[in-house]
Structures are given as C-alpha cells and as structure tokens.
Amino acid sequence: MQETQVEKLNQDIKSLQEQLEKAEQKIATTEKNFEKLREKFDLVFKNTIDIFMLVSAVTGKIFDVSSSVKEHLGYESDELIGKKFVELFPPEAEAQGEVIFDKIRIFDGVFAEETFYKNDGSICFMDLSAFMGEMAGTKVIFATLRDVSERKKRIEEVEKVKKMEGALAMSGAVSHELNQPLQIIIGFSDLIIKDKIDKEKLDVYLSKIKIQSKRMSKIIGKLTNITEYKTLKYIDSFEIMDINGTEEETENQNLT
C-alpha cells in the first residue's frame, strides 16, 4: 500500500517537473520574442522621423527620447532626459503645457497642434499626439511630436496669395470704375482752362464735372461697403472685382 502511494507521489512529482519544464520553455520563448520586439521597438524608436518620447505619467519627466529631437528641436537626447515635458513649451505657454499634460492623464490621450521651444530659443509648430500606457508596471505617456512648421508656412503663403489676388482684383476694379468719370472731369477741366468760354458753357461744363464727381463718390461708397466680392473677366485672363454685382447682392441681403 505504501509502495503504491510512493509510486503515485513520484508520478505526480514527475508530472509537475514536466509541467515546470514546459512552463520554463514557454517563458524562455516569450522572453526571446519580447527581446526581438524590444530590438524592433528600439530600432523604430531611435530612427523615427518624428520625435518620439517616453514621459513619466507621475513626475512628468522625460526618461527616453528619439535622436530625431536633434533635427527638429536642436537638443541631444541626453539633454532632455530627466527634464520635465512642460519645459519644452515656450515660457509664456508653460501653463498651457500643464493643462495638456493633465488632459493626457485624465482622458488617456490628446491630439493638438502646439508651439514648442527649440534649443536656439526659436519656436517650432508641432502636432502633439500622446496617450497613456504602461511599461514594467509604471504608467508612462507615449508622446509623438511632428514638425508642421513647413505646413503652416505653406498655409500662410496660400493666404498671402489669396490676399494679393483680392488686392489686385480691388485695384483693377478701382482703376476700371474711376477711370471713365476721371477722364471726363479732366477733359472738361482742360476746356475750362484752355478755352475762353461764356458763362452758359461754363455752367454746363461745371455741371458735368459735378455729375462725374458724384459718380466717383458713389463708386468709392460701394468700395467702402464691400464685405464679400465676386469677380468678372476683364482683359485676357485678368479678373477684377464686380463692384456692381457685389452692391446688388449686399442690398438684397439688407432687404431680407
């Protein structure tokens, strides 16, 4: 009876040993796979074009950052490790940085366009994408910064072009609309100056000058009341502002 119990106990021990060996093999395989993933992660982390950083969700301090930070913000990676994340914001925007940091912790993530402080003291516009995570039992923030300065520059250039187009359309309209009455005024003024005319003709000429002056005043009034405009073809592919069409549209809006 005792021999049977001992034999069964030995079998149980052997079974446990086999299970333990299998568990150890699985752990070894998992560790090996994890190490491979870690190597891939480090490769991506260190060579990413965007800035990638790991920040403590508790202290707010940076404990790792990709080398691309040198290209975009001018810092060596080692210079930022141990610094608070909010220190990357310009001094006047540090309070905003604290708000963003709190939002990440409260809502588990955030995406926003923010200004960041470069090592040379200049400002850089960047898209910030951050979310909460965990590494080795520690809560961390995974943050990605993408430089959008060029994008903002292109947007500003497009806006400048649009403003220039508006200015050209306006100047073309002013030139077109004012030129005719101005020429009439100049013509009758020359007649008054050069010719000896009687009072009757003088009154006629002055009346015509007055009419054209009022016409010019009305055109200027239209220009000062413009809130939006349409254009019309002028010469070749050049377009000018349609002052009359704009005025009619404005009047219709005022009536409704």
What domains, with CATH codes, occur in the chain?
48-147 (3.30.450.20), 153-255 (1.10.287)
Q: How far apart are CA 210 and CA 178, in angstroms?
A: 14
pLDDT, tens digit (0-9, with 9 covering 90-100), for 108-140: 888 888 889 899 988 888 899 888 888 777 888
pTM value surpassing 0.75: no
Please say if the pLDDT value at position 175 is more than 80. no
Q: How would residue 75 be classed by pLDDT, with cut points 50, 70 and 90?
A: very high
Residue 6's contacts (CB-CB under 8 Å, 6 or more residues apart) are none
Query: What is the rounded average pLDDT for all residues in the chain?
Result: 77
Confidence of residue 80 (pLDDT cuts 50, 70, 90): very high
- Which tens digit of pLDDT belongs to each residue from 83-113? 999 889 888 777 888 888 888 888 888 888 8
- In the predicted model, what is the mean pLDDT of residues 178-200? 80
CA distances from 183 to 102, 111, 169, 189, 192 (A): 68, 60, 21, 10, 14
Alpha-carbon Rg for the chain, nearest whole angstrom, is 38
Q: Is the pLDDT of residue 248 over 70?
A: no
pLDDT of residue 247: 46
Contacts of residue 226, defined as CB under 8 A and 6 or more positions apart, other chains included, come to 241, 243, 246, 250
**Which positions ≥6 away from 184 have C-beta within 8 Å?**
208, 209, 212
Tell me the percentage of the chain whose pLDDT exceeds 70. 73
